[in-house]
Structure 1
């Protein structure tokens, strides 16, 4: 039920308009926006990345054909006196890759085993706008007399040549042994070429985090 609700939330926000405020002058990061106070027991937070693909090195690797994978994790915590308590979590991934066959960027999103297309774009700026569309995460707070907050994290990583098999499986929604590091990615010669290319180009990894303010759900009448 939780996964189905998350997929509905993805579909509802994936093709919505991006935030109206210009983001170009802002630093890369992760943003959490709480729902209206009266809706915190019905709606979860809005979460979106900000300027995470504007880095020159990241774009260089994308244009060279190295996909970028964004891994999101959002947690709902209760703010306790001594030890905070984790209640629920939501995770999803976004993949951005350059398709040389038709000279376009493809943006896909995976929730569980489901892969959803967020579109294909001629320009990297348009692909980044698709990545930055806010997503309503279905982690509403319980209607209890407690204080809560959301903690979010995002890992952005450019995948190496040796990860291309994983990318193909990712897009098929499959979890193959090769993805988990137990498969043979190819012959010794193929592996040597891949390792050399990876060393020459290198991979990039960025991590971002954000935490919402503490809030208390309204009491039921």
Structure 2
């Protein structure tokens, strides 16, 4: 019985590990760390795998993508050493049946493609993360990507339209008005079913020694691939990485 239980437990652990590795393949955000400089190399994964997001985009709602990457240094109190944000918007034009793409790196310039797959490729081509350690020490990256079809300003504009821009009639009702506004906004999101997705990934710790190029390495290892830990909607799955 003990042997059978051990086999079942091992099978379950192997299955969980395989599931996590498969999940990594489909995550919308992946990154590695350059061994020469410790620079983050980010790759946009399948951000259009969610059918709700795809349906919202094809209905004409703009999809906004926000990527935020932070560099942290280990210490008694970890300190943030840098941050970079990258934004993109994808809009479907039902008349031309093409997708228009704008990014923060190409302000005012649009790229038009025919399919969501081409849109994803265009987003990857524009991605550039100028972030790396500038001093020696132990570091790690935290990266998050957020995808939503309506921004807070969009919701506020819709809220004002629904409310007719009615000002409070009684002085001193600011708190009540704010509470009502928050409630209306949440009700709108639930009522319209507007999709919003957020994914976060943290790299393992790695060490950098300035003046000794090619030495960015995972702690306790001689340079194996740095495997991140994914967090999605409250679910955390730590993938196998360097010890």
Instruction: Give the TM-score, by structure 1 length.
Output: 0.64
* Secondary structure at 2:208 match in 1: coil
**Matched pairs, number:** 169
Q: Does 1:94 align with 2:92?
A: no
Q: Does 1:58 align with 2:44?
A: no
Question: Which residues in structure 2 correspond to 1:78-93 (within 5 Å)?
Answer: 78-80=73-75, 82-93=76-87
Q: Does 1:148 align with 2:148?
A: no
1:108-133: per-residue Cα shift (whole Å, max 9, x none)?
Answer: 1115xx62646211112211222344
Cα RMSD (Å): 3.4
Q: 2:131 aligns with which of 139, 143, 151?
A: 139
Q: Which has the larger radius of gyration?
A: 2
Relative contact order (C-alpha < 8 Å, sep 6+): which is higher? Answer: 1
* Maintained 8 Å contact 1:48/1:133: no
1:183-204: per-residue Cα shift (whole Å, max 9, x none)?
Answer: 9965868xxxxx9997764210
Instruction: Give the TM-score, by structure 2 length.
Output: 0.59
CA–CA separation in structure 1 for the residues paired with 2:122 and 2:37: 26
Q: 2:36 aligns with which of 35, 38, 63?
A: 38
Q: 1:197 to 1:108 in 2, by over 3 A?
A: same
Show structure 1 runs of 5+ residues with no match: 1-22, 164-178, 190-194
Q: Does 1:73 align with 2:68?
A: yes
Q: 1:126 aligns with which of 118, 125, 128?
A: 118
Show structure 2 runs of 5+ residues with no match: 1-21, 165-184, 213-243
